[in-house]
Structure 1
Amino acid sequence: MNMKICLALVGLWSSTTALAARQGMQAFERVHSAPQGWKAEGAPDPGARLTFRISLVPESQGLLEETLRQVSDPKSARYGQYLSRDDLRDVMKPSAEGEKAVLDWLTASGISRQKIVMAGNWISFSATTEEANELLDTKFLTYRSTVKPGSTIIRTRNVFLPQSVMQYVQMVHPTTFFPKLQQAASPLVKYSRNVQAASPRVKYARNVQDGNSSIIPCDWKKLPTAQCVKDLYKFGDFVPKKNISGFIGVAGFTGQYPSHSDLDLLVAKTSPWAVGANYTTYSINNGTLTESKPPGGEANLDIQYTVLLTYPMRNTFLSVGGKGQWVADLNFPTPQSNLNEPFLDFFKYLLEEKDASKIPHTISISYAEEEQSTPPTYARTVCDQVAALGARGVSVVTASGDWGAGWSCQTNDGKNTTRFLPIFPASCPWITSVGSTTHHAPEIAIDFSSGGFSDLWPRPWYQKEAVPGFFSQVGDVWKGLYNPNGRGFPDVATYGNGFVVIVDGKEEGIGGTSASAPVMASVVALLNAKRLEDGKPPVGFVNPWLYSLNGKGLTDITGGGSTGCTGQGYNNVTTVKVPYASWNATKGWDAVTGLGTPLVEDLLKLLPTFDAVKQTPP
């Protein structure tokens, strides 16, 4: 036999054997390789115990999306008729057959029924590594960190499931996920874009605790303030009533925590009309409730601007503990570089909350990551949780990211394909994604504002008319580098080229889509407040209504554009360079500023005026 053919057959046999499954088992999830920074050391103690969570597929797979559509579309007879927690559980419940199949599989595989906990569409259980190897037809290994001596983790690269349960399982968590080491933190980097996708951009810092008490409500020649935002977006005379207008929640991850004293300084410096402005704090998943020194720049930016823009509405900082799941790529190749947030734990907690008064009507999130850095099963499960919140009448607003058209611009599936990489969770179709602008007379798109098209989710119904108009203007430019049928983002934009923020007693200029998200979340919170004060349900998932306005209540941004794929990624890692990579702002919706920037007075007037409906509050 020809030696080359022989060697090829041996290689094929070896690779096939490595991935071969037991009879009746099918591949469920795989990662190309263990991420950089982890080294396999061998099999762990067979008695080492792990805790798993399985998300089950709902019995009616399209029911959640259809329900969200009906309660969020102003043209629907069910608009505003949001679901209670128990109603939502019925919508998301797994089939009896699926639940039984998974439970039978677990118990037949040696998992004690006493160790299995059922909660809605979730099954949790503990198992030894020996049991898990048999259960998932895989081989768990101990991986040692090469960046933090002494740190180990037990993971696998391949997961197989029986054919009998494949159709019923949405996610097995954690298996192929290599989380970030807990001590690593995302630094606040000056004059740098090489930080997490929606990380705050610090432009300068100076001490304001020096006796200089001059008030600067708004001066566009310097950095803008909350008053500048209110003027730019025509907030008008509407002032929410403190006790009946609902409240806004600001999500804080990665140990970020704000400072009350810094907010007081900012009010005194820029916003005398908000004297006494404050916020409460709430811990989720053991999130910190202790003010750190120095406080988090991201946390201060977010809460300071939602507090001032919605004053005197109730504001709550939601401190979320833990780190999310991660797949290595060029931008975040090592454990210490992982900046993924625990979105699943956050949204799941809110959905399970019994006390409706603890669930914000509006949620602001200024965190983002590349869509490909999150395992697809995890990302889809998180996105479903967001849809469920929307079905309960909650508005979720996120930053679109600060990577422009793309950052590493290379896939992490082993093929290293050049591609504009979308951002998560901004690419989730049930979220309101916010890009950034600069200048004010007129505003134009700013270069770092992320946007594009999802590789996981198709274009949603509410974008069927808006997005094709963008393609008709840009033509086939960048064809092959993105998914033209994917969910387009962002949905809207606001100014993001730096606001005055107080951090640890110092005046700093911080911008990015991190700054844009809380501005838009504040706008949505005011819309929710107006509806609630009028005795009506909140706007909830706001995208269908915004897109139905056909440009009314918004300023269309047609100048400027994004950049990206510069060949330099996180930590100065060399990445793919795509000359002149960009998305331009165009007439109508575009992939850098969405539908445009808000005009609050007009939006308040355009709110649906339907009569109130009887419902359980979110």
Structure 2
Amino acid sequence: MRINLAMNDRQGLENALTEASDPTNPNYRKWLSRADVEYYARPSSDAVRSVRNWLSSNNIDAKTMSLSGDWLKFTVPVGTANSMLKAQYNVYEHTASGKQTMRTMDYSIPEDLQEHIKAIQLPRKCRHPVTHESNNESVYTYHNNEAKVISISGHSKYGSSVNKASNANASSTKAPIPTSTASFSNCNDTVTPACLQKLYGLPSSLRFSGQIYLPTYINQFLDGASNSQNLSDAGAEANLDIQYTVGMANNISVTFVDIGDQVRDGDDGGFLDIINDLLAEQKPPLTTSYGVVGDESGLSKPLTFAMCDAFMTARGVSILYATGDGGVASSPGVDCDGEPFLAAWPTCPYTTLVGATANFPEKGADLSAGGFSNYFGQPLWQQKAISGYLEQIGTKLYSGLYNRTGRGYPDVSAQGKIANFPLWRNHFHRRDISFFTHFCFHRRIT
């Protein structure tokens, strides 16, 4: 389990971020230091003492898992969890898949701790199992002379990111490969890094084609690891992500870290640990990009707000998420009963949400998720644009199905639909998917 303690001065942290993000403010781009963030985000001594005393009374020794000390983690027997949280943990089975999970329907904390505890991250809730082509998540680390840029990609544990129609469109074909001087008409048939570099004005990479594999590039191996050479096991999206990240990231080395799907970190699937680890670095990454999406209601409001506050401590780091493939109704089709529309996850206002475009020249992609948060209100920097948009569409379209006062998304968009991506020996993979979009925008700002 993990417990999030209330920050000492959350409002001060938010004010500092707002000033540093506003081009009209004298403090624009004057990002906080790690010591500054620790000052704002650390919990009060009273909060730490009260919560630790409660845990100690239940024979629990919690460890600090964040730089500022606002996150604690511990392992606890089920019987103790039932006692201290007035809960009743049971094993539940998903009827359609037969998969089992342990959870409690209710829990509570002592009244005198409620002002100190913002969220408790419990073991996973029951969720609809989702079939994906690959369930691996990936972490990319870009290095340059000054700092690092991290990119994280993969499939959600709590939302369908690729629907059946998209999987049906996956195919392997052969087609002419556009060069850096190719017309955009060829790019409608086959999207290469050269197409994207030309479209977005990116510099060409020094090594682009003909060097897919060089033995000298790989010099570390794992004893006893599986080594499947079946094409079906290759993981087309992970393959796509890493090839196009490297192909578009000129003069920036990339480190690929495979997280896998056997995480036991509760509902967030391990990403809270990643956030805390990266933000604890003396030189944090310049940019992080997460290709994971779910539905907003998949996490509780307290946990969602707590994770969003973790993003707020990013010290000038650009945090990007893909919005997903579900259109206005969001991704998890098995959960969508028509009203209201399910907002995507995350919709945190301290992140940049990237949607999908299609074709050359570009137009909005119909699969790209977009809409309004049911958790977060509109930040000030969105209100002018959103009010104009809502005035255009009027009040009758989808009336009552979305939150007109919520945080709107996406913020930006890039290529992501109906294209053949060359992956291996001039074979191509057709993908209708928005998870690739944030890499394009990520590369542009990198």
| TM-score range relative to shorter protein | 0.7 to 0.9
Cα 1:66–1:499 shift into 2, 3 Å: farther
Any unmatched runs of 5+ in structure 2? 136-158
Distance 2:266 2:187 in 1: 40
Q: Equivalents in 1 of 2:218, 2:269: separation in Å?
A: 22
Structure 1 pair 326–485 and aligned structure 2 pair: CA distance change class (3 A): farther
Q: CA deviation at 1:134?
A: 1.8
**Alpha-carbon shift at residue 486 of structure 1 (Å):** 0.8
In the alignment, does 2:171 pair up with 1:204? yes
Q: Distance in 1 between matches of 2:198 and 2:295?
A: 34
Taking a change above 3 Å as real, the CA distance of residues 158 and 511 of structure 1, as seen in their structure-2 partners, is same
Is structure 2 residue 13 aligned with structure 1 residue 64? Answer: yes
Paired position in structure 1 for 2:317: 394
TM-fit CA distance, 1:454: 0.4
2:244 maps to: 305
Match of 1:118 in 2: 64
Tell me, which stretches of 5 or more residues in structure 1 are unaligned?
1-51, 190-194, 243-263, 283-288, 328-339, 526-618
Residue aligned with 2:74, SS: strand
RMSD: 3.8
CA distance in 1, matches of 2:334, 2:300: 13
Separation in 2, partners of 1:428, 1:404: 19
Go from structure 1 to structure 2 and tell me whether the alpha carbon gap of 1:227 and 1:176 turns closer, same or farther (over 3 Å shift). closer
1:365-418 per-position Cα deviation (integer Å, ceiling 9, x unaligned): 2221111122323322222222222xx2211212111111105799979xx781
Q: Distance in 1 between matches of 2:322 and 2:352?
A: 9
Deviations 1:223-280 (A, max 9, x none): 2222122222233xx579x9xxxxxxxxxxxxxxxxxxxxx9x723xxx9x999x999
| Mapped partners of 1:280, 1:521: distance in 2 | 26
Q: 1:223 and 2:186 equivalent?
A: no
The alignment covers a number of residue pairs equal to 403
Among candidates 371, 381, 395, match of residue 452 of structure 1: 371
Question: Paired residue for 1:33?
Answer: none
Residues 282-321 of structure 1 deviation map (CA, whole Å, 9 limit, x = unaligned): 9xxxxxx987643222212222222222212222334334
- Structure 1 residue 133, shift from structure 2 partner: 1.5
CA separation of 1:313 and 1:239: change in aligned 2, threshold 3 A: farther
Structure 1 residues 63, 313: CA separation in 2 closer, same or farther (over 3 Å shift)?
Answer: same
For the pair shown, the structure with the greater C-alpha radius of gyration is: 1
Displacement of 1:490 after TM fit? 0.1
Residue in 2 aligned with 1:377?
302
User: C-alpha separation between the residues in 2 aligned to 1:295 and 1:376?
Assistant: 36
- Structure 2 residue 47 is the aligned partner of structure 1 residue 98: yes
CA distance, structure 2, for counterparts of residue 295 and residue 439 of structure 1: 27
Instruction: Tell me which amino acid in the other structure corresponds to 2:386.
Output: V
Contact 1:54/1:122 (8 A) holds in 2: yes
Partner SS, residue 405 of structure 1: helix
CA distance in 2, matches of 1:464, 1:154: 42
**Contact map agreement 1:157 1:176 (CA 8 A) in 2:** no
SS in 2 for 1:493: strand
**CA deviation after TM superposition for structure 1 residue 464, in Å:** 2.1
> CA distance change for structure 1 residues 361 and 295 in 2, over 3 Å: closer, same or farther?
farther
Structure 1 counterpart of 2:154: none
* Conserved? CA contact 2:421–2:431, under 8 Å: yes
Is residue 188–residue 359 contact of structure 2 (8 Å, CA) maintained in 1? Answer: no
Counterpart Cα distance in 1 of 2:107 and 2:238: 37
- State the match for 1:32 in structure 2: none
Matched, 1:423 2:423: no
Q: In structure 2, what is the equivalent of residue 346 of structure 1?
A: 274
Aligned-partner Cα distance in 1 for 2:433–2:17? 30
User: Using the alignment, how far apart are the partners of 2:350 and 2:298 within structure 1?
Assistant: 20
The code of the aligned residue for 2:194 comes to Q
User: For the Cα contact (< 8 Å) 1:281–1:319, is it kept in 2?
Assistant: no
| 2:403 counterpart residue number | 483
User: Runs of at least 4 residues of structure 1 off by over 6 A?
Assistant: 198-201, 278-282, 324-327, 408-413
Q: Distance in 2 between matches of 1:410 and 1:306?
A: 29
Partner residue in 2 for 1:492: 412
Contact 1:117 1:125 in 2 (8 A): yes
For residues 226 and 363 of structure 1, the distance between their equivalents in structure 2, rounded to whole angstroms, comes to 20
Cα distance between partner residues in 1 of 2:204 and 2:248: 10
1:494 match: secondary structure: strand
